[in-house]
């Protein structure tokens, strides 16, 4: 996330109604928000809805943002809370859309270049791994493995103590190892 | 440090580089001499760490920003709030005035319809009386008799 003007300046300007400043914030964080939403909910329409919802919450909350915690941590927290809520409330619909997306992806497979296919394969592997986890374990793994946050940063973002973060990561990795041993992940791909 | 403890550390703090230097070295030393823990570390990295390495953030579709922007503009637009700009003390007297007006309208409609009914009955009575040639044309007069032959016979 590289921003020309400092994020604090953008926050102040956006809080005063400057939409251009808010767009800069959106450009800096939308990739993260959308990726988390997509990985937690596992379907595009829900991920779009979550992203929209997260940025609407950010827009409303900017006026009251006190700079006591890091903006990034605040965005992480809103994103995970919104995405997990969406995941919990939309399980049935999720399965239906996922089936449709898999069909569409299979149709497009032969029209893509090698790099895109590699990226899609990596994304599918990750999606398949995350599918084995519950939302809490998923959040911890995403923040650790994809965003590269330390235990302390994950604890701050999810409002947990460090030992809870540690035990969620442990359970998540045990589940992934177990699936790998059974060959579940390999067969799904 | 026994294997159970080492594996607990491998699956979390060791792999995530959260250990202090001394413990880190102890775990490393154990892995070098313990085949089982070494294999555990390898399989863990292969299954639960490596797959996440090549993954990047995915950008949302472009139309999403337009949707969000429209949503923010809608929320920030001044709303038509004339109803709520009326000071609260006005609401009481206004409500009483409206209630009085409704009462007056209801009563006037009721009274009007009663007068119309009375007039209708009167008209119908007059009409029936006018059909009888012996009558003087009023229902009141018919109380003294209709002046027919049969009446004269019994009188």
Q: Which pLDDT score is estimated for A124? A: 84
In this complex, do B48 and A35 lie within 8 Å of one another by their Cβ atoms?
no
- Residue percentage of chain B with pLDDT more than 90: 41
In this complex, do A176 and B48 lie within 8 Å of one another by their Cβ atoms?
yes
Return residues 101-130 of A near B (CB < 8 Å). Answer: 118-119, 122-123, 125-126, 129
A61 at B interface, C-beta within 8 A: no
Split at pLDDT 50, 70, 90, the class of A189 is very low
If asked whether residues A153 and A60 sit together in one domain, one would say: no
Q: Which pLDDT score is estimated for B121? A: 83
Nearest to B34 by CA among B66, B75, B78, B4: B4
If asked whether residues A90 and A134 sit together in one domain, one would say: no
Range of the domain at A30: 1-111
If asked whether residues A104 and A171 sit together in one domain, one would say: no
Domain boundary among A84, A111, A138: A111
* Chain B residues whose C-beta sits inside 8 Å of any chain A C-beta: 8, 11-13, 16, 18, 43-44, 46-49, 51-52, 54-61, 64-65, 67-69, 71-73, 75-76
What mean pLDDT comes out for the span A98-109? 56
If asked whether residues A42 and A25 sit together in one domain, one would say: yes
If asked whether residues A107 and A121 sit together in one domain, one would say: no
In this complex, do A177 and B43 lie within 8 Å of one another by their Cβ atoms?
yes
Total number of domains in chain A: 2
Residue B98 has pLDDT above 60, yes or no: yes
What pLDDT, in 10s, does the model give residues B14-55? Answer: 999 999 999 999 999 999 999 999 999 999 999 999 999 878
If asked whether residues A96 and A129 sit together in one domain, one would say: no
If asked whether residues A189 and A150 sit together in one domain, one would say: yes
Number of Cα atoms under 13 Å in the Cβ half of residue A169: 30
Nearest to A53 by CA among B56, B72, B78, B62: B72
Residue A187 has pLDDT above 50, yes or no: no
What pLDDT, in 10s, does the model give residues A114-133? Answer: 666 666 777 888 888 998 89
What pLDDT, in 10s, does the model give residues B59-92? Answer: 999 999 999 999 999 988 877 655 555 666 677 7
Q: What is the mean pLDDT of chain B?
A: 82
Nearest to A153 by CA among A142, A141, A143, A138: A143
What pLDDT, in 10s, does the model give residues A31-68? Answer: 999 999 999 888 899 999 999 999 999 999 988 888 77
If asked whether residues A2 and A95 sit together in one domain, one would say: yes
CA distance A2 to A88: 33
pTM beyond 0.80, yes or no: no
Break chain B into its structural domains and give their ranges. 3-52, 91-155
If asked whether residues A29 and A73 sit together in one domain, one would say: yes
- Among A119, A177, A181, the strongest candidate for a mutation testing the B interface, having the largest count of B CBs within 10 A, is A177
If asked whether residues A182 and A89 sit together in one domain, one would say: no
A16 at B interface, C-beta within 8 A: no
Residue A110 has pLDDT above 60, yes or no: no
If asked whether residues A70 and A154 sit together in one domain, one would say: no
Residue A103 has pLDDT above 60, yes or no: no
On whether the CB atoms of residues B146 and B135 are closer than 8 A, the answer is yes
If asked whether residues A90 and A17 sit together in one domain, one would say: yes
| CATH number of the domain bearing residue A166 | 1.10.10.10
Question: Could you report the predicted ipTM of this complex, rounded to two decimals?
Answer: 0.76
A40 at B interface, C-beta within 8 A: no
Q: What is the mean pLDDT of chain A?
A: 84
Nearby residues of B28 by Cβ (< 8 Å), 6 or more positions away: none
A59 at B interface, C-beta within 8 A: yes
């Amino acid at each position: 996330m590289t921003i020309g003007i400092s994020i604090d300046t953008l926050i102040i300007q956006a809080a005063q109604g400057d939409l251009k400043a808010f767009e800069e914030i959106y450009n800096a964080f939308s990739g993260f928000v959308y990726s988390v939403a997509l990985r937690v909910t596992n379907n595009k329409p829900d991920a779009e809805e979550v992203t929209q919802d997260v940025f609407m919450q950010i827009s409303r909350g900017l006026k009251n943002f006190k700079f006591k915690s890091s903006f990034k941590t605040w965005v992480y927290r809103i994103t995970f809370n919104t995405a997990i809520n969406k995941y919990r409330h939309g399980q049935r619909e999720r399965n239906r859309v996922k089936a449709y997306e898999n069909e569409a992806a299979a149709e497009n497979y032969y029209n893509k270049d090698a790099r895109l296919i590699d990226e899609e394969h990596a994304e599918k592997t990750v999606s398949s791994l995350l599918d084995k986890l519950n939302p809490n374990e998923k959040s911890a793994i995403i923040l650790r493995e994809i965003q590269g946050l330390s235990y302390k940063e994950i604890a701050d973002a999810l409002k947990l103590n460090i030992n809870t973060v540690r035990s969620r990561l442990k359970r998540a990795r045990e589940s992934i190892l177990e699936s790998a041993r059974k060959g579940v992940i390999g067969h799904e791909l | 440090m026994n294997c159970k403890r080492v594996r607990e550390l491998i699956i979390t703090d060791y792999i995530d580089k959260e250990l202090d230097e001394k413990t880190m070295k102890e775990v490393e030393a154990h892995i070098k001499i313990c085949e089982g823990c070494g294999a555990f570390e390898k399989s863990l990295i292969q299954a639960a760490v490596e797959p996440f390495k090549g993954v990047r953030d995915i950008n949302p579709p472009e139309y999403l920003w337009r949707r969000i922007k429209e949503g923010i503009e809608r929320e920030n637009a001044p709303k038509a709030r004339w109803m709520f700009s009326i000071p609260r003390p006005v609401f009481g007297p206004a409500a009483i005035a409206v209630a009085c007006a409704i009462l007056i309208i209801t009563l006037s409609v009721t009274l009007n319809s009663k007068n119309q009914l009375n007039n209708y009955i009167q008209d119908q009575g007059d009409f029936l009386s006018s059909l009888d040639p012996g009558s003087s044309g009023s229902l009141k007069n018919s109380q003294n008799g209709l002046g027919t032959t049969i009446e004269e016979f019994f009188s």
